[in-house]
């Protein structure tokens, strides 16, 4: 009984300190841009601060949504549109919702939002997107106390619901590893954060992509074998084999439920907005499996396409990029592939939207 007041006072002091440091804009300012939270904060800050003259188009997705605004904007005189991106490696549709809410609080800043998805059929994956704990670390700085119930209950696993709720209430628990690094190297961290604030837009805007290809690999679909060139990176070999030959997960409807919920949330934000939502199916790789997922007429994007102000770019639009010479690993386009991808997007978006008003 005597210890109870001490414990309560200690918790209150901890919560007050957590709120003063981690629930304000103070700590996100000095996050390391090398971590997932810091990367998201850097990308969102750059987009908020980017000068926006004329009609704007914003891209969002994960590491495969390599639309290079530098390349797309070389065609602005032709298209009439200026492109930006907040695509972030590892970002999921759940994260996209909160990232868009922060970047576009009025839901009226952009003529179109480009959303890049893996599949138009909500193809199953082995992992459960709903229980992806990484989402919390990606967007913890963007989460508010009012998000506690919906965000935490979007997890299926009860232990993960608890950790998500706890992370929103006590953000310092999510920042723990980054904060420890800050305490170890405070001066260099602050300098690095200042450098990222000043120069990171240029780092990202000037990105060219790797020149490597997977052209030297040979796939035998019948024998289910992959012939690798001499001195091939073992991790790349394993990644290609996993992508090309692993057994597909059983159909459960889990992926579709997840996509319908979070893409539906994004649509609801833009329902009464002049902004058009444009979905694209990403190029599948330098080698495309013959056993593609079955057509799903009731997938998330196909059902959304029935609503006004939603467009699905033809799912085979980027098939011409699915060549070994345009990919540097099992999933990601290389530099020349990124350039072609960006030009194709710019021209197709201009065709969909028509001349700027």
Range of the domain at 232: 3-353
Identify which has the larger pLDDT, 283 or 6: 283
Q: Read off the tokens for 216.
A: 């030297």
Task: Look up tokens 């201009």; give the residue.
Answer: 350
User: How many structural domains is the chain composed of?
Assistant: 1
SS3 136: helix
Query: Given this model, what pLDDT does residue 26 score?
Result: 85
In sequence order, the β-bridge partners of residue 83 are 57
In angstroms, the CA 72 to CA 343 distance is 5
In angstroms, the CA 339 to CA 224 distance is 32
**Radius of gyration of the CA atoms of the chain, in A:** 22
> Does the reported pTM lie above 0.85?
yes
In this model, does residue 123 exceed pLDDT 70?
A: yes
What pLDDT digit, counting tens, does each position of 152-178 carry? 999 999 999 999 999 999 999 999 999
SS3 228: coil
Instruction: Give the relative orientation of helices 186-205 and 176-184 as an angle to the nearest 10 degrees.
Output: 120
With contact defined as beta carbons under 8 Å apart, do 111 and 346 qualify? no
What pLDDT digit, counting tens, does each position of 170-215 carry? 999 999 999 999 999 999 999 999 999 999 999 999 999 999 999 9
Instruction: Give the relative orientation of helices 254-270 and 93-103 as an angle to the nearest 10 degrees.
Output: 10
Query: Given this model, what pLDDT does residue 3 score?
Result: 59
Query: Given this model, what pLDDT does residue 14 score?
Result: 45
In angstroms, the CA 148 to CA 84 distance is 30
| pLDDT, mean of residues 233-245 | 95
CB contact set of 331 (below 8 Å; sequence gap of 6+): 63, 64, 239, 243, 285
In this model, does residue 263 exceed pLDDT 60?
A: yes
Using alpha carbons, list the distances in angstroms from residue 19 to 9, 38, 169, 182. Answer: 15, 19, 9, 18
Query: Given this model, what pLDDT does residue 1 score?
Result: 59
In angstroms, the CA 62 to CA 51 distance is 24
């Amino acid at each position: 009984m005597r210890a109870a007041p001490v414990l309560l006072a200690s918790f209150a002091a901890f919560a007050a300190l957590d709120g003063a440091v981690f629930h304000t804009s103070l700590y996100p300012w000095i996050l390391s841009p090398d971590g997932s939270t810091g990367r998201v904060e850097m990308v969102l800050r750059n987009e908020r601060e980017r000068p926006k003259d004329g009609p704007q188009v914003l891209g969002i997705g994960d590491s495969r949504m390599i639309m290079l605004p530098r390349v797309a904007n070389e065609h602005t005189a032709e298209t009439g549109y200026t492109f930006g991106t907040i695509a972030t490696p590892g970002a999921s549709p759940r994260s996209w919702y909160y990232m868009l809410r922060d970047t576009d609080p009025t839901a009226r800043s952009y003529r179109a939002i480009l959303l890049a998805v893996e599949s138009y059929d909500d193809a199953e994956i082995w992992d459960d997107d709903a229980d992806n704990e990484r989402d919390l670390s990606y967007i913890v700085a963007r989460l508010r106390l009012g998000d506690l119930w919906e965000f935490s209950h979007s997890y299926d696993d009860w232990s993960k619901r608890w950790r998500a709720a706890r992370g929103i209430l006590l953000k310092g628990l999510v920042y723990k590893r980054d904060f420890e690094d800050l305490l170890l190297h405070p001066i260099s961290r602050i300098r690095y954060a200042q450098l990222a604030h000043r120069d990171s837009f240029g780092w990202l805007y000037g990105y060219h992509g790797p020149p490597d290809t997977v052209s030297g690999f040979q796939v035998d679909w019948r024998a289910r074998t992959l012939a690798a060139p001499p001195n091939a990176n073992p991790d790349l070999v394993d990644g290609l084999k996993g992508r090309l030959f692993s057994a597909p997960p059983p159909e459960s409807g889990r992926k579709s439920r997840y996509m319908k919920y979070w893409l539906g949330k994004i649509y609801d934000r833009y329902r009464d907005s002049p902004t058009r939502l444009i979905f694209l199916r990403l190029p599948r790789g330098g080698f495309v499996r013959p056993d593609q997922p079955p057509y799903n007429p009731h997938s998330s994007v196909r059902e959304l396409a029935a609503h006004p102000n939603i467009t699905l770019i033809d799912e085979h639009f980027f098939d011409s990029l699915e060549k070994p010479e345009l990919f540097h690993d099992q999933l990601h386009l290389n530099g020349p592939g990124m350039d072609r991808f960006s030009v194709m997007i710019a021209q197709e978006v201009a065709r969909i939207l028509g001349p700027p008003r």
